[in-house]
Homo-oligomer: A and B are copies of this chain.
Amino acid sequence: MNIRLIRSYLLDLYKLGAGEKMIKAPTTELANFLGVSQQSVSRILNKLHTQDYIYKELRNRVLWIRITEKGLMEIEDYIKYVNDVYVNPGRFVFEGYVSTGLGEGAYYMSRKQYVTQFESILGFKPYPGTLNVRLKNPFYIYQNRLLRRLNGYKIKGFRTKERVFGDVKAFKAIINDRIDGAVIYAERSIYGFDMLEVIAPEYLRGFFKLKDDDKIKVVIYLNME
């Protein structure tokens, strides 16, 4: 079953209290509540059951259900997402911790072919280095995954005699509510979704007097235009 429908149905079951305990759930009554037919309720509950989203049990020929751990996780993640959509439409807010990368950031960010593009596309000349921000909250990691699916600003790769430099994707960002910079995604990044690579016109570690593990806020305002 479509994950969008799964979330929607799980949410309604959660409203009925199925997140906390076994509840009596006659298919005819649920049909009314969910706005579908009795037969559909039967089918839906069976699918949710085989996919491990709910427990299901017949007592005296009547269904009792309860949302499983997997179901609760799914629904709680969804509720967090919905809340975030409400609070932050058109932007992605991250909080993470300053982290020392492998030092290649400085090497990449000092390639002239990248720098000139950053300057003309983002409007600032980036400090030759990246600030690595480690995300710990699973929701931020999920958000990073989402953000990365978007196109952002495209910085074209190039090749030198020695090697190939891949495309880079950038999103304008505001760091700690003060500095205008960007989050960049290298086409072939060595980092997973728990790391943001931040660039800025300033040396951020210096400007904010940052040491490793200091908390830092990064806000991306989407520019779908």
Interface residues of A (CB under 8 A from B): 2, 4-5, 7-9, 11, 14-20, 23-26, 29, 32-33, 78-79, 82-86, 88-91, 146, 149-151, 222, 224-225
Contacts and interface: CB of A to CB of B under 8 A. Distances in A.
User: How many copies of this chain does one complex carry?
Assistant: 2
B150 A15 contact: no
From A86, A222, A225, residue with most partner B Cβ within 10 Å: A86
B146 A33 contact: yes
A83 B91 CA distance: 20
Given A4-B4, A11-B85, A90 B20 contact: yes
Contacts of A79: 82-83, 85-86
B224 A16 contact: yes
15 contacts: A15-B85, A16-B222, A19-B90, A20-B89, A20-B90, A23-B222, A23-B225, A25-B224, A26-B151, A33-B149, A78-B82, A79-B83, A79-B85, A82-B82, A82-B83
Given A33-B146, A150-B29, A90 B16 contact: yes
